[in-house]
Each structure stands twice: as C-alpha cells, then as structure tokens.
Amino acid sequence: MVDDINEVLRKAPLFEALDEEDTAALRSSVNEVRLGRGQTLFNEGDEGDRLYVILSGKVKLTRTAVDGRENLLGVLGPGEMFGELSLFDPRPRTASAVAVTDSVLAGLGHDDLRPFLSIRSQVSLQLLKALAERLRRTNDVMADLVFTDVPGRVAKALLELAEKFGKEGDDGLHVHHDLTQEELAQLVGASRETVNKALAEFALRGWLRIEAKAVVLLDVERMRRRAR
Ligand code: CMP
C-alpha cells in the first residue's frame, strides 16, 4: 500500500507540483479504498468530502434518469482522478462511481487538500487543467451526440478506451475495456442493438475483432477516419 501511494503521489499530475515535505504531509491524510467488481463507491446525490485517485482497476461514472436509464459519463483508469467537483463547489455528488473491475483507490479528504490550493498554486493549476480537459471532452461528447452517427460515436469511444487501456499486440491493439455491451451502449448514448450493429459492421470490414469485454483494433487508421 505505501508503495502504491508513493507511486501515485509521484505519478498523478495532481501531486506533481508538491515537494517532499508537502507530499509527506498529505500522505498521512490519504486512505486506501478497495472495491470489488460492481461495487458502488458513492451515489449521485450523496454528500461528498473526498476525491479519489485510481491506483489500479477501472471505475465508471454514471448518471441515472428518472425512468432508470443510465448514462455512462466515462470510464477512468490508473492515475486518473474523480470526486473533485464537490471540492470546489460543495454540493452533492454529480454522478455515481462504480468499480468496473476490482479496484484500489487512494482517497483524499477535501479539507486536507484545500490548504494546498492556496499555498501551492501548481496544485490548483493541475486541478483546473483536469477540469478544463473534462469540459473539452464533455463539449466533444455533446457535439457528437448532435452531429455524429452511432457508428462514428462507437469508433470514437473505442479509440478513447484504446488510449487509456490499449496494449499493442502482434495482431493489433488489444483494448480490454471490461464493459458489457449494455455499458458500451450507455457510454455512446445509443441502444444496445444499434451499437452491436455498428460493432458487427466494423468486424465484418476487418477493422476490429470482438472479444469478451474487449476488442482488438486491427485497423486503427480506418477507425480514426470513421470517428471524424
Ligand atoms: P463529484 O461531483 O464530487 O462526484 C462525481 C464525480 O464524477 C465528479 O465529482 C467528477 O469528478 C466526475 N465527473 C462528473 N462529470 C464528469 C464527466 N462529464 N466526465 C468525467 N468525469 C465526470
């Protein structure tokens, strides 16, 4: 655990700006959270007083409509952070966080982090950068919902997952996303049937191979062009 935390404090952009003394001070307020696959960390609407950095595993952020339908905002992996919105704007959680695979997280109390925001402008800048990136991506997702067809959105989602979780293999880029077809559809904002049809079409063209909770991208360039 201590190794994990040291590793993450060293690597996570949020903590890059801290010197050794700050890191040591902050480390004592970090707690480890272990989640089993499918376990919920918090629900949309809960009070939130901690942010989390993923040490290992994958966590999905979801919102549920009144009729029960789910929208998957994103899937985060090692080094990524979430739960910071209620740090800047103390209101209830804007999404639920659920482990997609067994996961280990480092939790950091907002109250412990807040003092660093005023004395270490680099920490504030890193948090603002993360927020800016999230806003950019959200704008892209919104524009795609209006302007891009479902196959284009599927291609884009797979490329984004590939950037985070892809591993180069002899036969292509292996993307072990760990999402069910239903979750993939929630991520793309379309029905499972339409998303399956798009995947089958890509497979037929030889652009990818479908595996259980994974895809192997065989022609990344074609996928990129389809995602435009
Ligand atoms: P918070 O509202 O504290 O808890 C839910 C978290 O989900 C939120 O902080 C953000 O860290 C994260 N989150 C909310 N919206 C998005 C989004 N559109 N993309 C990625 N992460 C998000």
Which residues line ligand 1 at a C-beta cut-off of 6 Å? 48, 61, 73-74, 82-86, 93-95, 134, 138
Q: Which domains does the chain have, with CATH numbers?
A: 5-145 (2.60.120.10), 149-227 (1.10.10.10)
Which residue, by CA, sits nearest to atom 3 of ligand 1?
83
In a 13 Å sphere around the CA of 86, the CA atoms on its Cβ side amount to: 22
Per residue in 116-162, pLDDT tens? 888 888 888 888 888 899 999 999 999 999 999 999 999 999 999 99
Q: How far is CA 216 from CA 37, 162, 169, 197, in A?
A: 23, 9, 9, 17
Q: What separation in Å is there between the alpha carbon of 108 and the centre of ligand 1?
A: 15
Tokens of 9: 């404090």
For 146, residues 6+ apart whose C-beta sits below 8 A from its C-beta are: none
Tell if the pTM clears 0.85, that is, is over it: yes
> Is the model's pLDDT at 1 over the cut of 60?
no
Which residue, by CA, sits nearest to atom 6 of ligand 1?
83
Q: What separation in Å is there between the alpha carbon of 35 and the centre of ligand 1?
A: 18
Give CA–CA dist 62/69, Å, rounded.
10
pLDDT for the residue numbered 5: 61
Pair 87, 114: CB distance under 8 Å: yes
Per residue in 190-210, pLDDT tens? 999 999 999 999 999 999 999
The answer to whether the Cα torsion of 188, 65, 96, 178 is positive or negative is negative
Q: What separation in Å is there between the alpha carbon of 85 and the centre of ligand 1?
A: 6
How much helix, strand and coil, in percent to the nearest 5, is found in the chain? 45, 25, 25
* C-alpha closest to that of 132 among 192, 140, 11: 140
The percentage of the chain sitting over the pLDDT mark of 90, rounded to a whole number, equals 66
Which residue, by CA, sits nearest to atom 8 of ligand 1?
83
